[in-house]
Amino acid sequence: MKADRQLAKYLANLGYGSRKEIEAAIRKGRVTGEGDALRFDGAPVDPPPGMVILMNKPAGLTCSRQDQGRLVYELLPPRYLKRTPALSTVGRLDADTTGLLLFTDDGKLLHRLISPKSDMPKTYDATLARPLEGHEADLFASGELMLRGEDKPLLPATLEITGERTARLTLTEGRYHQVRRMFAAAGNHVEALHRANFGLLTLGDLPVGDWRHLTAEEIAALG
């Protein structure tokens, strides 16, 4: 009986229902196996706390529960929003930005990755309103670029020109709308923005709107 209560608490923290609901499910035989082979209604149980999810975010969804409109969480199983500890995005991509987005319920990892002291490189592909003028790479790499309304210059960032109006930008900071503001400071406007990499992580062939759990090795590589 004590073991059943402990199991019910564990599954309730994973969002499968209230403790009473899970205790009833256990009595009905809906919970089977144990350890890594634990199943609920025949399906493997979700990862324990420390879970990290990688999503290929589509346009039109926001990351903040405070914003209006559709949220990226809608693409995940509803029970994921009932997990304890809570699941959060690792930083934010605005509604119009697509690409690699991480989620985790590991608070220490979350704060480490979004800390201003984090040097995790993030790469973005930008499509611009006007042709590049040729000075942008030096400006972004200078370590002297100041964004409007701020009093601290940006850290050096690497710009690779990929076309007349396209470029790949790699930076190690995560200031508010940073990529869009950087190009605005260079006299241009970002029409489309896609995050391609987060550290060593890439989207691979993950379809837009889909997601997957990171492996233990991938999580360890995040530091």
Residues labelled as active-site residues:
94
Helix, strand and coil content of the chain, in percent to the nearest 5, comes to 25, 25, 50
Summary count for the chain: helices (H), strands (E): 6, 12
Instruction: Determine phi and psi for 208, rounding to 5 degrees.
Output: -60, 130
Angstrom distance (rounded) from CA 215 to CA 15: 21
**Three-state DSSP class for 55?**
strand
CB 203 within 8 A of CB 99: yes
